[in-house]
C-alpha cells in the first residue's frame, strides 16, 4: 500500500501494519443481521495500491472495538466510488457472499453446473442458463411451499428435498404422458432411441 509522508514523498507500508495506526474512534460499530446476528467494528481508509490504478477503499472489519482485543480482522477492498461505500454497505455486501457459495455448491452438486460436455461458448452459456433457471424454479417452489402442496407429504426444508420432489413430479408426469401417447413413443423409438429431453 502506498501513502504520502509528511515531506510529500510516497512510501509503502503493509495494510496489517497500517491498521495499528488507526485510532479506535475511527471504527464504527455495525450490526450484522442474519441467522446469527453479531457486532463488528469497521473503519474505511482510502489507499493507493501498487500495480493498481487510482485509489481503492479498504474496510477493516474487526470483531472487537479495539485492535489489540480483535481476534478476527478482515480486510475488504472495493473499487466502487462515491457515497455508496459506507461501513454498513460494505458489511452488508460482504455478508451476502455465503449465499453465493451456497448457490454454487447446490448448482454444482445437485444440478450438474460443472458437468457439461460442450466446447463452444454458446452451448456452454445455454447449459449455464438452464441450470440457473432450474435452480431458481426449484428454490422458488421450496420457498413458497409449491412442491409441498402438490407432491410431498412432509416439509421440504432443504434444496435436495425440493429437487427430489421435483424429480418425482416430473417422472410422474412423464409416465402419465407416455401412457396417453404410447403410439408417439413407438413411432419415434427407432430414430430417437430412449433419449428424451
Q: Which pLDDT value is given to residue 19?
A: 74
Contact status, residue 165 vs residue 150, Cβ threshold 8 Å: no
Contact status, residue 191 vs residue 172, Cβ threshold 8 Å: no
Q: Which pLDDT value is given to residue 193?
A: 57
Digit-coded pLDDT (tens) for 175-187: 888 888 877 777 7
Digit-coded pLDDT (tens) for 44-93: 888 777 777 777 888 888 888 887 788 888 888 887 777 888 888 888 88
What are the cell numbers at 76? 475488504
Confidence (pTM): 0.50
Domain ranges of the chain: 2-95, 99-192
* Nearest-angstrom CA–CA distance, 139 and 133: 10
Amino acid at each position: 500500500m502506498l501513502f504520502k509522508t509528511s515531506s510529500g514523498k510516497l512510501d509503502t507500508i503493509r495494510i496489517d501494519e497500517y491498521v495499528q495506526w488507526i485510532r479506535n474512534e475511527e471504527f464504527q460499530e455495525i450490526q450484522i443481521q442474519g441467522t446469527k446476528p453479531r457486532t463488528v467494528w469497521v473503519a474505511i481508509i482510502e489507499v493507493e495500491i501498487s500495480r493498481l490504478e487510482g485509489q481503492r477503499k479498504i474496510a477493516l472489519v474487526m470483531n472487537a472495538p479495539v485492535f489489540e482485543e480483535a481476534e478476527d480482522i478482515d480486510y475488504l477492498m472495493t473499487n466502487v466510488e462515491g457515497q455508496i461505500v459506507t461501513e454498513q454497505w460494505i458489511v452488508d455486501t460482504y455478508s451476502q457472499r455465503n449465499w453465493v457459495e451456497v448457490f454454487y455448491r447446490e448448482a454444482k452438486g445437485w444440478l450438474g453446473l460443472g458437468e457439461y460436455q460442450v466446447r463452444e461458448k454458446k452451448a456452454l452459456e445455454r447449459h449455464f442458463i438452464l441450470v440457473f433457471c432450474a435452480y431458481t424454479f426449484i428454490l422458488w417452489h421450496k420457498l413458497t411451499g409449491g412442491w409441498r402442496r402438490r407432491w410431498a407429504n412432509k416439509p421440504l426444508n432443504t434444496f435436495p428435498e425440493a429437487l427430489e420432489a421435483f424429480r418425482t413430479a416430473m417422472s410422474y408426469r412423464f409416465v402419465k404422458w407416455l401412457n396417453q401417447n404410447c403410439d408417439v413413443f413407438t413411432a419415434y423409438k427407432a430414430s430417437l432411441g430412449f433419449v428424451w429431453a
